Amino acid sequence: MARKYFGTDGIRGEIGKAPMTPDFVLKLGWAAGKVLAAKGSSLVVIGKDTRISGYMLETALQAGLVAAGVNVRLLGPMPTPAVAYLTRTFRASAGVVISASHNPFQDNGVKFFSSDGTKLTDEMELAIEDYLDRELETVSSEKLGKVERVDDAAGRYIEFCKRAIPTEVSLEGLRIVVDCANGATYHVSPHVFSELGADVVKIAASPDGININENCGATSLGLLQKSVTEYRADLGIALDGDGDRLMMVDHKGEVVDGDEILGIIAAHKQKEDSLGDHVVGTLMSNLGLEKAIEGMGLNFHRADVGDRYVMEILRKTGGFLGGESSGHIIVRDRISTGDGTIAALQVLHAVIESGKTLYELKQVMTKYPQTLINVRIKEKIDLDANTAIQQAVKDAETQMGTRGRVLLRASGTEPLIRVMVEAEEESETKQLAEMIAEAVKKAAS
């Protein structure tokens, strides 16, 4: 059944416009509370990032939950993965994060975690949507929920992160620049790395409610690249506004993306014999990563884009490591969701144990050139049923053989068909991508 409000990562939008209005979020809190109460649940924890609108939405959300008879604990500004962890720690029925991740400050959103710190099932989200279409009814006064603030939430998460690498491992001798995107990690992640011994230079760690993700963080690496070379650091770490995404910069100022990070962690954990046989990427993961993982004698799986789908395949295969090119990295034997700080610690562990630089470690994979063309369409096209498009794809795949791959997919948010081709030679990717894009344009005309 199609979902009316929930997207792939909760409910998100511009503040003041539906659905991100105080009255809707209050109703959302009540609807979620009714679903949880029906399952005998009584406690929900709420965290948020540093957007100015977070205070307003937090107030509305807790009012709705209390009206449904659910108790609430407020964590304050906390990274998304910290909320997932604290949901389990407090034995809560669910965790809620008020955040729009890497979006600008004008946007905000609400996403939920189940009691085990993973994303809600589709069935739970549909049940919440069902209540959203009902009349709000407050429980009797004696059954109203209560609200408490958790004062030591940041300290709990810092200690949890520090346990993500062996106690005998020290980061002494490493100078690290940490870009907190003026977001939810500003008061936790720099402490994690410095308490483990690193010399930390923190940047974009002064949130004012409107500067989150503004020319900084995992989606805008220029500031970090400049800072790493300016401070002569060994490497740089960039987190996004809610702390679940990681991008890195080596000592040369070169970007190390999610695929390369995944490859580094996989190689290190395999040497530690703590990886298992399966690594999960997505449809967008570079072919170079797939070949590198298979070269380690491991099975590489491609999930749909979205960390919830990566997690689904990890569960099915029993794998411990998966992620996306954009930097959502799940280290499943450490935490049940993407966590930029935990993933960074795995890379730092590899740097310390190998004695190699981040630049040297990223050579574990060779990136294949990639060409992406977005073709705008007026009406929906059945890509599988269009013979001309399928023939163009087949011709491209035949020409490349095992040297490349084609990805053709409709955008989930815009009227676009995305044509992506990877191959060993950049000229070949451009030629074949243009050929397929032309077939799509003709079908769309």
**Catalytic residues, which ones?**
101
Instruction: For residues 139 and 142, give the distance between their C-alpha atoms in angstroms, rounded to a whole number.
Output: 8
- How distant, in Å, are the alpha carbons of 33, 40, 92 from that of 117? 17, 18, 10
**Residue labelled with tokens 């011994």:** 197
CB 96 within 8 A of CB 84: no
The Cα angle at residue 439 between residues 435 and 445, in degrees rounded to 5? 140
Instruction: For residues 162 and 217, give the distance between their C-alpha atoms in angstroms, rounded to a whole number.
Output: 22
- How distant, in Å, are the alpha carbons of 19, 204, 339 from that of 249? 37, 15, 17
SS3 labels along the chain = CCCCCCECCEEEEECCCCCCCHHHHHHHHHHHHHHHHHCCCCEEEEEECCCCCHHHHHHHHHHHHHHCCCEEEEEEECCHHHHHHHHHHCCCCEEEEECCCCCCCCEEEEEEECCCCCECCHHHHHHHHHHHCCCCCCCCHHHCCCEEECCCHHHHHHHHHHCCCCCCCCCCCCEEEEECCCCCCCCCHHHHHHHCCCEEEEECCCCCCCCCCCCCCCCCCHHHHHHHHHCCCCEEEEECCCCCCEEEEECCCCEECHHHHHHHHHHHHHHHCCCCCEEEEECCCCHHHHHHHHHCCCEEEEECCCHHHHHHHHHHHCCCEEECCCCCEEECCCCCCCCHHHHHHHHHHHHHHHCCCHHHHHHHCCCCCEEEEEEECCCCCCCCCCHHHHHHHHHHHHHHHHHCEEEEEECCCCCEEEEEEECCCHHHHHHHHHHHHHHHHHHHC
CA 232 to chain CA centroid, Å, is: 29
